[in-house]
Chains A and B, each alone.
Chain A
Amino acid sequence: MMTFSIILGSALAFFVTVFRALSRHRYTTLIQLNNERQEMDTLHQSLSKQKRELQRERTNKEQTLCSLKNKRGDIPTVTVDALEALEMNENDKISRYLLGRGKISMEQHERAIQKMNILKMDYLSVCLTLGFIDLETSKKVQKASKANIPSR
């Protein structure tokens, strides 16, 4: 009976030890793999964030550059309030507004003027079609130009 008890106890002890060892190995391996995944995710997120910041910085600097170029006297710019005082057509107003705000560059302005006759569209639509401005900017410009109409 004594031998029987010893064998049973040893078998149970062996079972528990091996079971726990297997579980521990699985647990540590999964944690290690999760850490690797988190590292990769973190690296990807930091690179994405860096890219977004650089794009924002580039946009700001391009606007600064456009403003500086316009200040040099390449093209006289006026504010939206001053636009209503001037007698000019809608396209000129919009182009001056966009150039003044640095939304488009001189090259883009010239291309838009050239394409206006080909596409048979107004200046704002051409800029939007060619991707020089986004929809939000277009709406702002339209709002600004509409705000000027009643005061004429």
Chain B
Amino acid sequence: MLEVSTLYLLLAMFGFVLLGILVIHHHNCTDQVCRKRNEIRRLTVDLSAKNAVLEEQIAELKTEINEIDDQIALLEQRQQS
């Protein structure tokens, strides 16, 4: 049977091992989350720029369609009269 002091020494060593595992796990988790967050940030900036351009183009297209509608209505009125 081991002495009590040896047992406590083993217990302390085991505690350090557990603490080390926790530190490594925390580091891994933080790193993974950080990488994902950066990826999303880049994507958000990229897509925001694209969306702004798309919204502008959509507004232009709507204006053009309205103008064409007006011209069509005018022509149809002239044909009827």
Contact = CB atoms under 8 A, between A and B. Distances in A.
A127 B45 CA distance: 40
Contacts of B48: 40
Interface string B16-54: 001001100110010011001100100110011011001
B68 A44 contact: no
A26 B32 contact: yes
A44 B50 contact: yes
Contacts of A68: 72, 75-76, 79
Q: How large is the interface on A (under 10, 10 to 19, 20 to 34, 35 or more residues)?
A: 35 or more
* Secondary structure call for the B interface: helix
Question: Chain B, interface size: which category?
Answer: 35 or more
B47 A44 contact: yes
A62 B75 CA distance: 13
A142 interface: no
A8 B25 contact: no
B69 A61 contact: yes
Contacts of A11: 11, 14-15, 18
A75 interface: no
A54 B11 contact: no
Nearest to B76: A68
Interface string A91-111: 000000000000000000000
A78 interface: no
Nearest to A26: B29
A119 to B, nearest CB: 29
Contacts of A71: 79
Nearest to B36: A33
Given A26-B29, A69-B75, 10 more contacts: A22-B25, A41-B47, A44-B54, A47-B55, A50-B58, A55-B61, A65-B68, A65-B72, A68-B76, A72-B79
Top 6 closest pairs, chain A to chain B, by CB:
A26-B29, A54-B61, A47-B54, A61-B68, A15-B18, A68-B75
30 contacts: A4-B8, A11-B11, A19-B21, A22-B22, A25-B29, A29-B36, A30-B36, A33-B33, A33-B36, A33-B37, A36-B40, A37-B43, A40-B44, A40-B47, A40-B48, A41-B47, A43-B47, A43-B51, A51-B61, A54-B58, A54-B62, A54-B65, A58-B64, A61-B68, A61-B72, A64-B72, A68-B72, A68-B75, A71-B79, A72-B78
